[in-house]
Amino acid sequence: MTGKGAAIVFAVAMMAEPAAAADIEAGRETYWRYCSSCHGEMAEGNGPMRAVLMVKPADLTVLTANGGGVFPLDRVIRRIDGRDPLVSHGSEMPVYGDFFHEGGRETVEAEDGTRVATSGAVADLLAYLRTIQAR
């Protein structure tokens, strides 16, 4: 991606952010630490763990595209914090559970204005995931 392209993506992501701006950099670090081993450095579903997983990790850059242009906020939150367990996350996500309940309470705003309660850590992660959506 060119520098200009990156700047545009970043600017769009900032505009999409709710007033209580989450920390995209913190979210990026969380992603690297907790998610990239399966979902991959570029979040396209091709991390090093992919080879040994029976169910292949989802491409996290097409969440918005697959949602018909709307980031599926509620589903993503539930899948990260384990309220909506995935077979593949089932034994993994509860391990993250404690961490993802840290960072205070936050509400994040969906495109339709609905506010969803989550933790600061998840809010940051979501802010990062929103910046990497393909358009």
Binding site for ligand HEC (CB under 6 A): 34-35, 37-39, 49, 53, 55-58, 60, 63, 75-76, 79-80, 86-89, 92, 96, 125
Shortest CB 69 distance to ligand HEC, Å: 15
CA 128/CA 124 separation, integer angstroms = 6
Residue 48 or 117: the one with the smaller Cβ distance to ligand HEC is 48
- Name the minimum Å distance from CB 100 to ligand HEC: 7
49's CB contacts (< 8 A; 6+ apart) are 37, 38, 57
Q: What are the structure tokens assigned to 119, written together?
A: 């933790």
Distance (Å, whole) CA 20 – CA 109: 10
CB 68 to ligand HEC: min, Å: 13
Which residue, 22 or 76, has its beta carbon nearer to ligand HEC? Answer: 76
* Of residues 100, 53, 40, the one with CA closest to residue 76: 100
